[in-house]
């Protein structure tokens, strides 16, 4: 059977592998061929694990023949460069970790290995996940496979580009303020930011420890769901993980009954539409129109919609870009050139430290370290950091109140489609505003998914470039996100 990677996803590939239509080795070789053909122009992968991938594929084929398999056995995946794979380099897109080799597997990697997944390589990213375009990598810009003059989004742009260029069937990214959802929107994919604590951060190179979460990227909602169900769960190595399902929001009763059919079940769901969406400055008319069409589409398939108020979400960007740099400056203090990573000799120990960090960190990372150190300094801690934390609490309360009335909340994922490379990279404020719809879910610690909102039946996108619809749910209600996403996209 000829392997058609463009029209293959995890679910269908699994069925073919079980039937014996092709082997994991054949599937992996086909993915490696695509990487060899396309990666030189796109720069999605920083390193390809060809030998290791083929060995894992052979092992997967043996497991399948023995009947000992999962839905991910033999499935080729790409992994973001800030997630540790034992024996492989993990640079987080930075010169300061250029030659660092991981000494252990991240918990999510261990779970994927146990499931029999195949790792094709590590993908490019904004340095230490600081960015919204994958232009901040120390190892070159990643391009959007749908338009090579445009960014793929960030910081997980390498992972989304790897999936969008049909070189793998799924990928892992990390989402601190939108870094899975925004590039998924720009590349026409499905990307999930899980509930904070639902997926272990053990083995993830930290950016903001109270924000970071590892999330799956795929072509379909089902594929993202399969990966999420594999990597989720409590972990003794990460004290922030949720050991059991704890729904902290008083979710509206769904009295219509799950077993009475999809149409009636849809009517039981009430979708909240924030009043501020169409008032956001900088949002282009095509994105506004597409969002309004998405609302009509949800109503047409049986959902109710209701306007909701989130009065403090307008302060989300400000609160995020005070709190996140503060956490980043603390987390990145460990990269000092003494224990691991890049080292530059100076006249003394302090000079070693300054030279190593000055050369090893890029411009955006240095900017955020300076900002974070400033807001944590004496005399400014209360004025900035504590106030930002107070706003974060207010945003959590906004969502709590809204979820008493509705089941989920929808917004656009971004203010428009993918912008051109170089268009915003020298304007930090414009770049930070790329996160305007996504950061609130990270501040509140709740799950959100981005799905293509303008994809046509033939696979093309209305208007030429993809746009995303973001669906936000209460804590630990990823299943609700998957249900609504599948219905919106017409997935079975």
* CATH code, 11: 3.90.1300.10
Give me the pLDDT at residue 323, please: 97
Q: Does residue 454 have a cis bond before it (omega within 30 degrees)?
A: no
pLDDT in tens, the chain (492 residues): 899 999 999 999 999 999 999 999 999 999 999 999 999 999 999 999 999 999 999 999 999 999 999 999 999 999 999 999 999 999 999 999 999 999 999 999 999 999 999 999 999 999 999 999 999 999 999 999 999 999 999 999 999 999 999 999 999 999 999 999 999 999 999 999 999 999 999 999 999 999 999 999 999 999 999 999 999 999 999 999 997 655 544 445 444 333 333 444 444 699 999 998 977 877 899 999 999 999 999 999 999 999 999 999 999 999 999 999 999 999 999 998 888 889 999 888 888 888 999 999 999 999 999 999 999 999 899 999 999 999 999 999 999 999 999 999 999 999 999 999 999 999 998 999 999 999 999 999 999 999 999 999 999 999 999 999 999 999 999 999 999 999 999 998
SS3 assignment for 86-134: CCCECCCCCHHHCCCECCCCCHHHHHHHHHCCEEEEEECCCHHHCCCCC
Is residue 52 within 8 Å of residue 28, measured between CB atoms? no
Residue among 151, 145, 143 nearest 165 (CA): 145
Is residue 7 within 8 Å of residue 82, measured between CB atoms? no
- Whether 174 is in a domain gets the answer yes
Tokens of 59: 């092992």
Q: Counting beta carbons within 10 angstroms of the beta carbon of residue 236, is it exposed (0 to 12), middle (13 to 18) or buried (19 or more)?
A: exposed
Give me the pLDDT at residue 262, please: 44
Distance, CA of 317 to CA of 276 (rounded, Å): 14
Distance, CA of 212 to CA of 92 (rounded, Å): 14
- Whether 432 is in a domain gets the answer no
Is residue 216 within 8 Å of residue 1, measured between CB atoms? no
- Whether 374 is in a domain gets the answer no
pTM, two decimal places: 0.95
Give me the pLDDT at residue 268, please: 67
3-state secondary structure of 394: helix
φ, ψ dihedrals at 371, nearest 5°? -60, -45
- Whether 402 is in a domain gets the answer no
109 lies in which domain range?
Answer: 5-231
In the β-sheet with 76-80, what is the strand arrangement from edge to edge?
45-48, 118-123, 76-80, 170-175, 213-218, 190-193, 448-452, 468-472, 408-412, 270-274, 304-308
Residue among 182, 156, 181, 185 nearest 171 (CA): 156
Give me the pLDDT at residue 258, please: 37
Helix-, strand-, coil-residue percentages of the chain, each rounded to 5: 45, 15, 45
Catalytic annotation, residues: 80, 155, 179
- Whether 260 is in a domain gets the answer no
- Whether 365 is in a domain gets the answer no
- Whether 443 is in a domain gets the answer no
- 48 beta partners: 121
Q: Name residues whose C-beta falls within 8 Å of residue 5's C-beta, 6 or more positions apart in sequence.
A: 30, 31, 34, 166, 167, 169
Tokens of 434: 């790329």
Residue among 311, 303, 299 nearest 402 (CA): 311
Q: At what angle do helices 24-42 and 10-19 cross, to 10 degrees?
A: 150
Give me the pLDDT at residue 263, please: 41
Counted domains in the chain? 1
Give me the pLDDT at residue 448, please: 98
Alpha-carbon dihedral of residues 315, 441, 108, 18, nearest 10 degrees?
-150
Q: At what angle do helices 50-66 and 24-42 cross, to 10 degrees?
A: 150
Residue among 106, 87, 90, 108 nearest 98 (CA): 90
- Whether 61 is in a domain gets the answer yes
């Amino acid at each position: 059977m000829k392997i058609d990677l463009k029209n293959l996803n995890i679910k269908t590939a699994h069925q073919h592998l079980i039937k014996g239509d092709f082997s994991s080795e054949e599937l992996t070789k086909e993915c490696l061929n695509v990487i060899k053909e396309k990666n030189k122009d796109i720069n999605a992968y920083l390193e390809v694990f060809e030998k290791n991938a083929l060995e894992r594929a052979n092992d997967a084929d043996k497991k399948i023949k023995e009947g000992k398999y999962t839905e991910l056995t033999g499935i080729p995946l790409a992994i973001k460069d800030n997630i540790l794979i034992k024996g492989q380099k993990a640079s987080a897109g930075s010169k300061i970790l250029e030659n660092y080799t991981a000494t252990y597997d991240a918990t999510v990697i261990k779970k994927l290995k146990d499931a029999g997944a195949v790792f094709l390589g590590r993908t490019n990213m904004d340095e230490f996940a600081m960015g919204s375009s994958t232009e901040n990598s120390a190892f070159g810009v990643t391009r959007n496979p749908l338009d090579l003059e445009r960014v793929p989004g960030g910081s997980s742009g390498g992972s989304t580009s790897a999936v969008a260029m049909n070189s793998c069937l799924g990928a892992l990214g990390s989402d601190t303020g939108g870094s899975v959802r925004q590039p998924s929107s720009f590349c026409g994919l499905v990307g999930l930011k899980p509930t904070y604590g639902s997926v272990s951060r053990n083995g993830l190179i930290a950016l903001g420890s109270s924000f970071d979460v590892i999330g799956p990227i795929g072509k379909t909602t089902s594929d993202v769901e399969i990966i999420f169900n594999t990597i989720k769960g409590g972990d003794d190595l990460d004290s922030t993980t949720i050991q059991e399902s704890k729904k902290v929001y008083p979710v509206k009763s769904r009295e219509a009954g799950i077993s009475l059919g999809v149409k009636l079940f849809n009517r039981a769901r009430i979708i909240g539409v924030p009043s501020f969406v169409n008032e956001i400055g900088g949002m282009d008319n095509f994105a506004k129109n597409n969002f309004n069409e998405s609302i009509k589409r949800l109503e047409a398939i049986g959902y109710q919609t209701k306007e909701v108020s989130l009065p403090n979400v307008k302060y989300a960007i400000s609160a995020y870009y005070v709190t996140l740099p503060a956490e980043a400056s603390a987390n990145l203090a460990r990269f000092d050139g003494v224990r691991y990573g890049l080292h530059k000799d100076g006249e003394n120990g302090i000079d070693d430290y300054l030279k190593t960090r000055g050369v090893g960190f890029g411009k955006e990372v240095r900017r955020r370290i300076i900002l974070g150190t400033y807001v944590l300094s004496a005399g400014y801690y209360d004025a900035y950091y504590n106030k930002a934390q107070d706003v974060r609490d207010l945003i959590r309360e906004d969502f709590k109140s809204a979820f008493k009335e509705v089941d989920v909340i929808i917004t656009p994922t971004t203010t428009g489609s993918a912008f051109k490379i170089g268009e915003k990279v020298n304007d930090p404020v414009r770049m930070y505003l790329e996160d305007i719809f996504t950061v609130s879910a990270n501040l509140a610690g709740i799950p959100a998914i981005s799905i293509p909102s303008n994809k046509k039946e033939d696979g093309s996108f209305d208007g030429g470039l993809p746009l995303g619809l973001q669906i936000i749910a209460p804590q630990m209600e990823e299943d609700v996100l998957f249900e609504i996403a599948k219905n919106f996209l017409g997935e079975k």
